[in-house]
Amino acid sequence: MRIGMLTSGGDCQALNAAMRGVVKGLANNVKDLEIYGFYEGYKGLIYGNYRLLTSADFSGILTKGGTILGSSRQPFKYMRTPDENGLDKVEAMKDNYKKLKLDCLVILGGNGTQKTANLLRDEGCNVIHLPKTIDNDIYGTDITFGFYSAIDVACSAIDCIHTTAASHNRVFIVEVMGHKVGWLTLYAGVASGADIILLPEIPYEDDRIIEAIDARQKAGKGFTILAVAEGAISKEEAKMTKKELKKKRSAETFPSVSYRIADMITKRTGAEARVTVPGHTQRGGSPVPYDRALCTRLGAAAAQAILDKDYGKMIAMVNDKTKRVPLEKVAGKLKAVDPECQMIKEAKFIGISFGD
């Protein structure tokens, strides 16, 4: 059996653990197995940059962050566009797949990666996709690996801010990753006791933010902590077209939405407002135990699907059970936070403001 493997898009803490799960599942049930690792995601598949991996490559990587194969972003919308030398990228990927006589290509990645995986399925390649992203925004699965590890990092940042915010009676904003969805900000904000949580799915009003800060001041609480998703938008911005919003943002001098909100808070309340951006630290470090267990299960389920020759599937986790989901049913779909979900309602019930 010949299996190809690649990790595409942004890295996360549990990619190695997931690859290990797949390989251990296959190696334990297949006598003659070859694993070909493609370097830097689809880039390696396009340009034939790969090597035959051994069992030693997958030893001791369960707790190791990042990816032993490296990764890169190859936007789906450009996959049908020839490269600077006129190379047809889709044909090149198919040629390398056929050249190695692969039985299956295991692809680990997020939404864009998944769309290209579905494209390869359409082109006749046997593929299995494993849902990776710290954003937890892949449709068709309850959870993606990397999400809980990123929550841990974001929580640590907000936890550390608590003591300095309390010491100086300041307003602190912690900007959490998430351009289109707010799962990471929601969970990290609730788990860390943030007072205000701003998500892309719930457009905010400046007045509501100021009201929440004033309410804490009147209650004798001298500091306020905001967990803000990097894709948070105001109600005014939510009414704009993408073109109008891009024009508005490009005319601003603020590095991100958090700095704009901090400036607004200072001008309207006189309080010191500071911004902390954990950034890519949220992708780094070792995977938390939950992600290690999750990836081992997803990897084993992927190996079983390959043995069953049940290709063209994403290996999902639904109601704490692994499930094979047809790629064509989920590729291109986004799983956003429902503003009316139970978790939002419970957070509001204990006094957390969402700026709405």
CB neighbours of residue 9 within 10 Å: 22
Contact 208, 355 (CB under 8 A): yes
**What is the per-residue pLDDT for 109?**
96
- Strand, helix or coil at 289? helix
- pLDDT tens string, the chain, 356 residues long: the values are 999 999 999 889 999 999 999 999 999 999 999 999 999 999 999 999 999 999 889 999 999 999 999 999 899 999 999 999 999 999 999 999 999 999 999 999 999 999 999 999 999 999 999 999 999 999 999 999 999 999 999 999 999 998 888 888 889 999 999 989 999 999 999 999 999 999 999 999 999 999 999 999 999 998 999 999 999 999 999 999 989 988 888 888 899 999 999 999 999 999 889 999 999 999 999 999 999 999 999 999 999 999 999 999 999 999 999 999 999 999 999 999 999 999 999 999 999 999 99
Calpha distance 19→299 (Å, rounded): 7
- Strand, helix or coil at 200? coil
Question: Among this protein's residues, is 308 annotated catalytic?
Answer: no
**Active-site residue, selected from the candidate residues 11, 57, 135, 152:** 135
Determine the residue type at 183.
W
Contact 17, 292 (CB under 8 A): yes
**What is the per-residue pLDDT for 169?**
80
Full-model pTM: 0.94
Q: Whose CA is closest to 5, among 36, 32, 43?
A: 36
Q: Spell out the domains of the chain, with CATH numbers in brackets.
A: 2-146+287-330 (3.40.50.450), 149-283 (3.40.50.460)
Which residues does 301 contact at the CB level (< 8 Å), separation at least 6?
A: 315, 322, 324
Q: Whose CA is closest to 314, among 144, 77, 149?
A: 144
Which tens digits make up the pLDDT trace of 105-128?
A: 999 999 999 999 999 999 999 999
Residue 156 tokens, joined: 């640590």
**What is the per-residue pLDDT for 157?**
95
Calpha distance 169→191 (Å, rounded): 21
